[in-house]
Structure 1
Amino acid sequence: MSRDAQTGTISTDIPARLDRLPWARFHWLIVIGLGTVWILDGLEVTIVGSMSEALKPADTGLGLTSAQIGLAGAVYVAGACLGSLVFGQLTDRFGRKRLFLITLGLYTVATVLTAFSMNPTWYLVCRFFTGAGIGGEYAAINSAIDELIPKHYRGRVDVMINGSYWLGAAAGALLTLPLLDPTLVNPALGWRLAFGLGGTLAIVILIVRRHVPESPRWLFIHGRDEEAERIVQGIEKRVAEEDQVEFQPVDEKITIRQRHTIAMTEIARTVFTLYPRRTILCFSLFVGQAFLYNAFFFTYGDTLTSFLGVERTGGYIAVFAVSNFAGALLLSRLFDTVGRRKMIAGTYLLSGVLLAVTGVLLGGLTAVTLTLAGAVVFFFASAGASSAYLTASEIFPMETRALCIAFFYAIGTAAGGIAGPLLFGTLIGNAAEGGDITGIAPGYFIGAALMIAGGIVAAFLGVDAERRSLEDIAQPLTAADAEAKGS
């Protein structure tokens, strides 16, 4: 029998039992053990962006040129894109837990080794593998979170966790102030300590993550239904004892044709032929949010220093980052109550319009008013951007979930991290030569247009996934009647 052949047919109530759970300490374990990776990503990206100048001196840094610093950014993005695709496929094949331990381990090792960089080549290699670890994390973590969090809380938890990237960004911006101050820390040591702190935090998260179980949904599809049952029984027992609740039998069951693996051809057919509207939706959301953030955030630091007379940007970036997290935190509950379609379309459309207005007013803004304008725009945009990850992780069948997240993450990361910097870097360079800040406004308008387009697509093609089980939103490919659904 081939490895992707059926191993048996079972009927299970595990999804319904996971979805009926009240919020409990077990779910906080998931949030802390899995969700904190976005804080690491925000910390990583912000610290690296802030310490570019510290890496240039040959005596205290690595003697990097401006071109090599730009190359390091591109290498990180390439690693993230490749890592998401490779680890996304492996996550669907070998399980969520195995891969979210491997990807965090890879990130930890690469980050610690970066702190010991002795030359540009070492640094570039470490940046690639750091990116690969982070890219793989997005696929493994989003799929695991959605499969373990009850349906009534899934939207708010996912949006809030993805928005926590900005907690890391704020922390990174503030950390660079003392670490890169030569009167406080030796310049040869400060940037190395910054990387070391990221690696230390990752080790703590890795210890917590070991206690997060494998996804029971993944287990019963892959012929390990007895193990899935033991895990769910353990969760129910723990929640019942802690919250003094008594669980009754559930009526909802799903019949599954178990398989060890699913062929890549079947996964591709599912994404592009069975769910073409959902594929268009995710593509629009990811590209829109990627260009929006690069239109403003990629040029933000340079705009403050080149046009508005700001020498140290850490405090401004911290304010911007706090606003981003506040938006994701405060608006997240509405994705479960008001609904996915309305909230996704609304946040995309509103943030796009507000960014366009900021572009029109750009010539009259100061460092403070530009920061305040950005804070308002991205209060709404951060919730919208986080909802792109939520959408990709819940509207495709379970067997393709991690790979779909990886695929659309790679598209968004490539668009934002490669095409975005090329376009917006040219705009700010030309504007700086002429001393006219309005020269970067076209970048704002492009980002705004793509966000508005994403909002329109969400309004027409969005999926009303709030408070619905994952199996109801998209039946597993292995479900007995899966062929009957698709959109």
Structure 2
Amino acid sequence: MANLSDNSSPSAKGWWSQLAPYQRLVFIVATLAWLFDCLDQQLFNLARSPAMKSLLGDQQIINLFGKVPIAAGALATSIFVIGWATGGMIFGSLGDRYGRAKMLSVTVLLYSIATGLSALSVSFTDFAVYRFLTGLGVGGVFGLAVALVADTVPSHVRPRALGVLQSFSAVGNVAAGFIGLTIALTAIGEHENYWKWLFVIGALPAFLVATIQLRMKEPPAWTESRDRAIAQGKRSGSYRDLFGHATWRRHALLGMVLSCAGVIGLWGIGVFSSDLVGDIVTHNLTQAGATAGELNKGKQLWMSLNLLTFNVGAFAGMLLFTRIAEALGRKKAFAMFFAGSLVVTIFVFQMIGKLNGRFDILWMAPLMGFFHLSVFAGFSIYLPELFPTRLRATGVSFCYNVGRYLAALGPFTLGALAAKFGKDAQELAVKGAPADIAPNALAALKSVAKIDAFRDAASWMCLIFLLGIIVLPFLPETKGQPLPED
């Protein structure tokens, strides 16, 4: 049977018109699976802070192992990211072994159900369990969706198709921003438990599963690879085979380091820009004498605007990354955007809220999103080009997800740095304050010190982007090369 990805054309223009009807269906379903996956991630980011306040009250600290105090929001994020990494490792291997389409339906169903259950949480414990289960499903989608499209579409349009697939993750993120805005601008946003509605909405992708199960079939490339591997005594989806082969082992380890830079940068720094915005808005509204209801709505409004504009920039950045990767090569594109991420993150975290108050969010957030998420288009294009068909979902998932075990430490690291800087800054603020300062004024000084500490912590952490640049010379350039086989 002919490999659908073996077709060729002298031009990559009008790539959509060069897809057969079934190839378009595969692309649409895989893209929707990833879009809804990202919608779920961002709804969690919006819901995290109000959920912790609702479940734990003002004292949002968890004593891990009974003695290690950790901010509940950071711990919930880390648990989610650990589940994500674990799900990616498991379902990537199962996708190579039993089929991409079949496992994709399982992962979408899993994260949809677990997201819906998150709305029923009554304590931090069950909330954390639901977030871990959600992470398992969320983690499996990327490697499966990317491998499914890479094995299905013609080779000459594969980079463009995969770049566009990843770009639509920003559409899911933007949708989350609009959902957050809608809640903020309605009476729902005044209620303490408005975060539950975010999770209910996040459960809706379960309906996509029916389409996947009824219409999807495994790519001929995967079927042929599976049969060939069986005939040759090789194993599909085997981590032993992945690391037992010198070339695939090298690609897996170096690809993992490359992915770590982007994943840790986003989940250790980028997603917490909403928390910084929330703190700035809360401080400003408190100074203006806002009521509790106005604080809730105002914080939700500006956090949603931050998410919305961040991902408008991300969409443009991922499309541009795709074009540059096609024109100049994968490695040059990564180098350009990792360097941009470093510079822009320091600038934004240091200056946001200082220039035009809340309103500088409207141009600073898209600038940071443009660089932070652009490299993820590179992961979707580049990682499948490093592994053979029988190990493609396994290799892609390993690279993309194992770094999340390290990224899970990002919220702890950021929180620890912010706490250390914040404690020092607040002590200085108290020492420098007049003895007869009013309690409200002292609280305001401490609030500003906390915000500044968060800025400094994020600025130090963004040095992780240098790791992505350092590893590039050791990786192969795959521009214009066919997908590898063994």
TM-score by length of 2: 0.77
Counterpart mapping for 1:372-451 below 5 A? 372-416=363-407, 418-433=408-423, 434=425, 435-436=448-449, 437-451=451-465
Determine the structure 2 residue equivalent to 1:155.
159
Determine the structure 1 residue equivalent to 2:77.
73
What amino acid sits opposite 1:345 in the alignment?
A
What amino acid sits opposite 2:481 in the alignment?
R
Counterpart mapping for 1:74-473 below 5 A? 74-179=78-183, 183-184=187-188, 187=191, 190-204=194-208, 206-208=210-212, 210-223=214-227, 257=232, 261=236, 264-270=239-245, 273-275=246-248, 277-294=250-267, 296-307=269-280, 309=284, 311-312=298-299, 313-358=303-348, 364-365=354-355, 366-369=357-360, 372-416=363-407, 418-433=408-423, 434=425, 435-436=448-449, 437-458=451-472, 460-470=473-483
| Residue segments in structure 2 that go unaligned for 5+ positions in a row | 10-14, 62-71, 286-297, 426-447
The one-character-per-residue Cα deviations of 1:451-472 (angstroms, maximum 9, x if unpaired) are: 23313432x23433234321xx
**Deviation (angstroms), 1:32:** 1.7
The one-character-per-residue Cα deviations of 1:253-309 (angstroms, maximum 9, x if unpaired) are: xxx847565754322212xx3245534531332121123224542431232233463
Q: Which moved more, 1:348-357 or 1:312-321?
A: 348-357
Structure 1 residues 209 and 323: alpha-carbon distance in aligned structure 2, compared to 1, 3 A threshold: farther
What amino acid sits opposite 2:60 in the alignment?
S
Equivalent of 1:40 in 31, 36, 43: 36
| Residue segments in structure 1 that go unaligned for 5+ positions in a row | 1-11, 226-255, 477-487
What is the rounded CA distance, in whole Å, between the counterparts of 1:358 and 1:341 in structure 2?
Answer: 26
What is the rounded CA distance, in whole Å, between the counterparts of 1:323 and 1:88 in structure 2?
Answer: 29
Structure 1 residues 419 and 217: alpha-carbon distance in aligned structure 2, compared to 1, 3 A threshold: same
What is the rounded CA distance, in whole Å, between the counterparts of 2:36 and 2:114 in structure 1?
Answer: 13
Question: What is the RMSD computed on CA atoms of the aligned residues?
Answer: 3.3
**Deviation (angstroms), 1:326:** 2.0
What is the rounded CA distance, in whole Å, between the counterparts of 1:303 and 1:360 in structure 2?
Answer: 11
**Deviation (angstroms), 1:88:** 1.6
Maintained 8 Å contact 2:237/2:394:
no
The one-character-per-residue Cα deviations of 1:203-258 (angstroms, maximum 9, x if unpaired) are: 13542564232021111122289xxxxxxxxxxxxxxxxxxxxxxxxxxxxxx847
Determine the structure 2 residue equivalent to 1:50.
46
Maintained 8 Å contact 2:264/2:410:
yes
Maintained 8 Å contact 1:156/1:335:
no
Maintained 8 Å contact 1:151/1:467:
no
**Deviation (angstroms), 1:412:** 2.4
**Deviation (angstroms), 1:347:** 1.8
Maintained 8 Å contact 2:313/2:368:
no
**Deviation (angstroms), 1:324:** 0.9
What amino acid sits opposite 1:465 in the alignment?
T
What is the rounded CA distance, in whole Å, between the counterparts of 1:260 and 1:49 in structure 2?
Answer: 39
Maintained 8 Å contact 1:142/1:389:
yes
What is the rounded CA distance, in whole Å, between the counterparts of 1:78 and 1:266 in structure 2?
Answer: 24
- Is 1:14 matched with 2:3? yes
**Deviation (angstroms), 1:398:** 1.8
Structure 1 residues 338 and 27: alpha-carbon distance in aligned structure 2, compared to 1, 3 A threshold: farther
Q: Which moved more, 1:175-184 or 1:404-413?
A: 175-184
**Deviation (angstroms), 1:42:** 2.5
What is the rounded CA distance, in whole Å, between the counterparts of 1:447 and 1:314 in structure 2?
Answer: 24
Structure 1 residues 279 and 353: alpha-carbon distance in aligned structure 2, compared to 1, 3 A threshold: farther
